[in-house]
């Protein structure tokens, strides 16, 4: 499966990373979200039906920037 690394702003701690992973895991095509809150990015493992704009919209809805 493909992976995409996305820069995320507004992550302050592990709880933020966990919240982001939980709230973006339901985006169509997403198989797994690994968030690094210390360095400010997420690695998304996804299928062919993944749309990065939909993922970024979910990031914004969770209160973070992408």
Q: What is the CATH number of the domain that holds 45?
A: 3.30.70.100
49 located within any domain:
yes
pTM: 0.94
63 located within any domain:
no
Residue 48 pLDDT: 96
Residue 17 pLDDT: 97
Helices 52-61 + 14-24 axis angle, to 10 = 130
- Sequence-ordered list of residues with C-beta below 8 angstroms from that of 15, at least 6 positions apart, any chain: none
From first to last of the 66 residues of the chain, give the pLDDT tens digit.
899 999 999 999 999 999 999 999 999 999 999 999 999 999 999 999 999 999 999 999 999 999
Closest to 45 (Cα-Cα) out of 26, 56, 29: 29
Closest to 64 (Cα-Cα) out of 32, 3, 18: 18
62 located within any domain:
no
Residue 1 pLDDT: 87
66 located within any domain:
no
């Amino acid at each position: 499966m493909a992976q995409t690394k996305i820069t995320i702003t507004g992550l302050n701690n592990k709880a933020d990373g966990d919240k982001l992973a939980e709230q973006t895991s339901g985006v169509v095509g997403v198989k797994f979200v690994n968030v690094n809150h210390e360095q400010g990015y997420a690695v998304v493992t996804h299928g062919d039906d993944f749309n990065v704009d939909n993922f970024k919209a979910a990031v914004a809805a969770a209160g973070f920037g992408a």
